[in-house]
Structure 1
């Protein structure tokens, strides 16, 4: 193993969050390096399906020194448009990125700072730094249940991050498991492609795409919800740890209505509990899950109504969602072969994986213990996590603010150290 030169700051991860910290550090004159295992912002091309669109309006897209200024601020960029937008941002500055460099270990050093083990095309290296910023994303490991391995080997199984389009799956019906943003939109994508879709519905809430003349997320932004610190958010930690509301920006944006899909032939079930060979068992939770999602939908509309009335805004009249379909009975078992299901798309999320970091910065669930990205471990910070500071954290809307805070904290500590050295000298 060779030893690299010491750098003041190492940023692990070259996505938009890590590069945003780099942007601010460069302007502060702080030497640093961005360590990226692939290429910058590669996840947008590698982990999104062909018909992916943003679920937040284009005007939410703000990065350091760069905002969306295209012709459709209230529209929703496709995957390829997001990639092009990000490439335009990368051309506005020169980040010190080392591509194809994976950090396999980050260790807190007794004398201060950190030692990073790097895996590079030319071999292993050891890099030391004073400050380390972890920008690898909040949940990098796809979740697939343990019983998936006991299902019929003839059924193709993929995780949602591997899904690209209906054509990649074998002919036949498809079971999508999970109704977070990815699961609901992938189910829609397959449904629109003419596939028979079976959908295991989870406990995710939903939100109207448009309400009273505007996008709901624009109303919520005006109401200050994206700026409210996590500690002050209604419902506390239980509320912020729930799955994101499902909605879509496809074809100009619309609601994702699972009941309407069912009326059109999609088969809905409750939470998938377990399975073996070709037999699956579902919990009888479908009706309650649909009712809950609709209650959140209408509750958000009520919050917007209250804001409109409080501010005296002239807007179209109040409305509420009324169910267009109800389940006759709860189906709790399925035979994959009998239903012609030839593939399963697991869309039940991701989990954190910080086993490569040796530092006392994590809770019992393996999640970073941080305040606005700053941990109690001197010099160790995180960026790009959902709810790191506000609802906007982890989204384009909040990245610049979070990155700026991390960079300012590092810069302040760096300048203080320089001052102490000067006084001591």
Structure 2
């Protein structure tokens, strides 16, 4: 499909990842004319910004895009990077997606005038599906380091890194998995920890994700939580689906030679300085994991489920002292696993709060006809993932249909326009 400069399209979806494709599927089912603008190609986010051994941390059975549930031979396994790309490409081929690839939206103005790298179009309604991982976030301390450094989105495999020891900063999902990848390859790894929690892979006979799904956790709307902002911006629990799935236990890595530190504080260009909070960070991660097990135990007891007993986790290593400095001599590279920031600077419509976050209710903004899809915790835990984006896409498209019929939704309220 080609984009025609000056054309008017009833609905424009910006972004051709899983959120944009799910929205397109529902628009197609409703018979609504639309176009999907994709800056690169379908699956490029997974293909170009994930390392070689990357795999999902949620089981394959949770991959359930609209009209395209996972039907492979390993529902309890975890798709690796190239399989994820293939899943999205197959989804794209499963229905007639009106997508234009290689075209980036560069400006969205009032009246839904959309400037792109291939011309300007207008729309009655716009769905922003650009995802949460747009601009790599680096701390200012990175400017003062003279060693080679890269963001986690640029990491591919241990062989791309220069000789020497490697410092990984950040213990979210990416940081822990990259540290493990390097550790398994025999590299000496230094890991600066943070406050990210962890979760067990399996407990009492099932994947913990399966237990939480049964317990209704993944269908719980964010408005049911007392601390909405804390939930929306919290760091994901670290765990892995590698080799069939397992825990990531930083204490075990320490026993095997990985060197753990507290939070990175500062540098004088010769050495790095860390906070004295390593033990606290490890204890916090373990406490969250054990708390999840407590909730599973309570659910099993309440429902009378016959599940095998399992001994609780016991720490295999304790820091006897917390190293507070690390010489940069011998460090071959630093990998920053410090997350991403949204980049909505191209959007000139006032739908953002003081922090630059889109103000919305389930993706419906205060600007009639403008929507977001694929935001983390847009409505539920699964909103930004394969498991829950289908429900969000259906909700947004239902609102699009209603608005076209004369019903305007604003901040969760609606009125019929005569």
Normalized against structure 2, the TM-score is what? 0.95
Q: Partners in 2 of 1:211 and 1:131 — Cα distance?
A: 46
Please tell me whether the aligned partners of residues 353 and 366 of structure 1 are also in contact (alpha carbons under 8 angstroms).
no
Please tell me whether the aligned partners of residues 42 and 88 of structure 2 are also in contact (alpha carbons under 8 angstroms).
no
Q: CA deviation at 1:3?
A: 4.2
Moved over 2 A (4+): 233-237
Q: Partners in 2 of 1:233 and 1:248 — Cα distance?
A: 27
Q: Partners in 2 of 1:359 and 1:201 — Cα distance?
A: 38
Q: CA deviation at 1:233?
A: 3.1
Q: CA deviation at 1:29?
A: 1.2
Q: CA deviation at 1:100?
A: 1.1
Q: CA deviation at 1:145?
A: 1.2
Q: Partners in 1 of 2:227 and 2:358 — Cα distance?
A: 21
Please tell me whether the aligned partners of residues 232 and 376 of structure 2 are also in contact (alpha carbons under 8 angstroms).
no
Q: Partners in 2 of 1:318 and 1:11 — Cα distance?
A: 47
Structure 1 position 34 matched with structure 2 position 36: yes
- 2:116 aligned residue: 118
Structure 1 position 201 matched with structure 2 position 193: yes
Ranges in structure 1 where 5+ consecutive residues have no aligned partner:
418-422
Structure 1 residues 286-365: aligned runs within 5 Å: 286-337=278-329, 340-365=330-355
Q: Partners in 1 of 2:125 and 2:280 — Cα distance?
A: 48
Q: CA deviation at 1:276?
A: 3.4
Q: CA deviation at 1:139?
A: 3.7
Q: Partners in 2 of 1:389 and 1:158 — Cα distance?
A: 33
Q: Partners in 1 of 2:233 and 2:280 — Cα distance?
A: 20
Q: After superposition, what is the alpha-carbon deviation per residue over 1:22-47, rounded to whole angstroms, capped at 9, x for unaligned?
A: 11111111111111111112111111
Structure 1 residues 213-252: aligned runs within 5 Å: 213-233=205-225, 235-252=227-244
Ranges in structure 2 where 5+ consecutive residues have no aligned partner:
408-416
Q: Partners in 2 of 1:240 and 1:362 — Cα distance?
A: 15
Q: CA deviation at 1:138?
A: 2.0
Partner-residue secondary structure (3-state), 2:107? strand
Structure 1 residues 1-400: aligned runs within 5 Å: 3-109=5-111, 114-120=112-118, 125-152=119-146, 155-233=147-225, 235-337=227-329, 340-400=330-390
Q: Partners in 1 of 2:210 and 2:293 — Cα distance?
A: 13
Q: Partners in 2 of 1:189 and 1:127 — Cα distance?
A: 45
Q: Partners in 2 of 1:176 and 1:79 — Cα distance?
A: 21
Q: CA deviation at 1:89?
A: 1.3
Please tell me whether the aligned partners of residues 305 and 318 of structure 1 are also in contact (alpha carbons under 8 angstroms).
no
